[in-house]
Structure 1
Amino acid sequence: MLQDFTALDLETTGLNPKTDKIIEIGAVRIRNGKEAARWESLVNPGCQISNFTEGLTGIRNEELMSAPVIEEVLPALMDFLMDDVLVGHQILFDYSFLKKAAVNQGIPFDKKGIDTLKLARKFLPQLPSRRLSDLCCYYGIETTSHRAGSDALSAAMLYERLVQDFPDEEAYRPSGLVFHVKKESPASKKQKERLYCLLEWHKIIPDYDVERLTRNEASRITDKIILAYGRLPHP
């Protein structure tokens, strides 16, 4: 079983890595089974987060407005992760968001991982819930749920407890993390001009940064506005 790895967790605006955004990243480096270093950062998603997400995480929109964007955060995170195996609760979810960001920035990002959720499903099928918070409660692991750094450390501690209780070498073998995503291009000047015109004409105050939209995002938002409010009048 691994004694050296990095535990990882993200907080996001939603569950779809192709449309939602990262708002917080937490990574904990483990060496010889002990915490050796920790890396954490809020991430400006370029949009307002929902009241639900604010309530769930305790992260406020005001904090995110002054946080660095993912393009600034990702290189530092990659340096911290080094060549480590990633450990996390539903680790492919976290990896998929980072993979998308890495592809968009042209940064190679291919990792192996160990999923504590899969391990819990295998070894603790009798439990009514295998959410990270419930598993931490079961094992008496102190945690602050839905904050990236705390959840990353909790996943590392959960991994250690599972290894102690269920010493099955094969179950803890890292596997390649796979998420296929294409690079997204920034919205074109024409797309942004059209969107600005729609927003102005329909008196809509956007809860996102138009300048940071991708082509696909700008297209989806434009279509939604037209569907809800109508097209611009012809000159």
Structure 2
Amino acid sequence: MFSIIDIETTGNRYKFGKITEIAIYQHNGQRITGSYSTLINPEMDIPYFITELTGINNEMVKDAPKFYEVAKTIVEMTMGRTFVAHNVQFDYKFIREEFERLGYDFNRKTMCTVQLSRKLLPGHRSYSLGRLCTDLGITINGRHRAAGDALATVKLFEILLKKNEIIGHPQNRDNLKLF
């Protein structure tokens, strides 16, 4: 069981930044079984360059729930599941930091689709989500928005699952199953 996640933030530094949007797709290894997406009021100004990148501005988040108001849903949707993201450490560190500010120790097993892509899909010039999706013919509806990027990551994850089944097949004993 997996929770495939993408977030948008106020910057790149998790210790000082805040989450502005989150999307979670629960996946059972075959298909999506649940989803959640929301803007989050970061309780700080969103820098101009982030608004330019994501399209998320202060006006859009002013009436959005604050992180503490969605924290329970995030816990419930990820409990007992592997936390999957493209460049997982970015998303995971931001979410852990938000929970730490609330006094909650958020710990999940993680899986990175960048690392898996490098192992299972070698030879790409870039393993950024946008370039990898272009190479694989995955359409991203809403690039640099949590739901769009998370859904693209789901499609990539499904390709990786199929590739892993082939590599992990008993007839191909020289390769190790990665998950």
TM range, smaller chain: 0.7 to 0.9
Q: Which residue of 2 aligns with 1:151?
A: 149
Correspondent of 1:7 among 4, 7, 14: 4
- Given residue 158 of structure 1, which amino acid in structure 2 is its aligned partner? L
- Answer yes or no: is 1:172 the counterpart of 2:170: no
- Given residue 31 of structure 1, which amino acid in structure 2 is its aligned partner? N
* Distance apart, 1:38 and its partner CA: 0.8
Rounded Cα–Cα distance in structure 1 between residues aligned with 2:33 and 2:112: 21
Rounded Cα–Cα distance in structure 2 between residues aligned with 1:56 and 1:82: 31
TM-score (norm 2): 0.87
* Distance apart, 1:121 and its partner CA: 2.1
Asked whether the equivalents of residues 2 and 29 of structure 2 are also in contact (C-alpha less than 8 Å), the reply is no
SS of the residue aligned with 1:28?
strand
How many residue pairs were aligned? 170
Gaps in structure 2 of 5+ consecutive residues: 169-175
Rounded Cα–Cα distance in structure 1 between residues aligned with 2:111 and 2:177: 9
Please state which structure has a larger fraction of its residues in helix.
Answer: 1
SS of the residue aligned with 1:66?
coil
- Given residue 165 of structure 1, which amino acid in structure 2 is its aligned partner? K
- Answer yes or no: is 1:106 the counterpart of 2:128: no
What are the superposed Cα offsets for residues 49-108 of structure 1, whole Å, 9 maximum, x if unpaired? 122211211112101111111111212211222211111101111111111111221223
Range with greater deviation from structure 2 (139-148 or 20-29): 139-148
Asked whether the equivalents of residues 87 and 156 of structure 1 are also in contact (C-alpha less than 8 Å), the reply is no
- Given residue 159 of structure 2, which amino acid in structure 1 is its aligned partner? R
Rounded Cα–Cα distance in structure 2 between residues aligned with 1:34 and 1:123: 20
Q: Percent identity?
A: 34
Task: Note closer, same or farther for the CA distance 1:156–1:45 as it changes in structure 2 (3 Å cut).
Answer: same
Asked whether the equivalents of residues 8 and 145 of structure 2 are also in contact (C-alpha less than 8 Å), the reply is yes
Please identify the structure whose Cα radius of gyration is greater. 1
